Amino acid sequence: MNPNIGRVNALIRITCGFSILACSTANMVKRPSQSSLPFAALGGMLVAEGITRFCPVTYLVKNSANKQNLHYQNDKQDQFAINPS
């Protein structure tokens, strides 16, 4: 996995992730319920993305944009092809 987010973006993700994780775990301790569990998972995911500097969503968006750009370039080249017949 190559890093696909910058250093500042990673630090912001780590900070927000720990904040969300702290709030959700404090809420689970105060009032035990299952409603805070998704927020804890979201916070953990943000921390992991910040530490590894790899975001799967960014990876998918960049790859789909590159594929669309490739298709556009191929269509553009086909317009100027000379018909040999």
pLDDT one-digit tens code per residue, 7-35: 999 999 999 999 999 999 999 999 888 88
- Reported pTM: 0.73
Distance CA 77, CA 85 (A): 18
Per the model's pLDDT, the better-predicted residue between 8 and 80 turns out to be: 8
| Torsion, CA 47, CA 51, CA 57, CA 62, rounded to 10 | 160
Q: What is the arithmetic mean of pLDDT over 43-69?
A: 90
In contact, 19 and 50? CB cutoff 8 Å: no
pLDDT value of position 33: 82
Q: What amino acid is encoded at 6 in this protein?
A: G
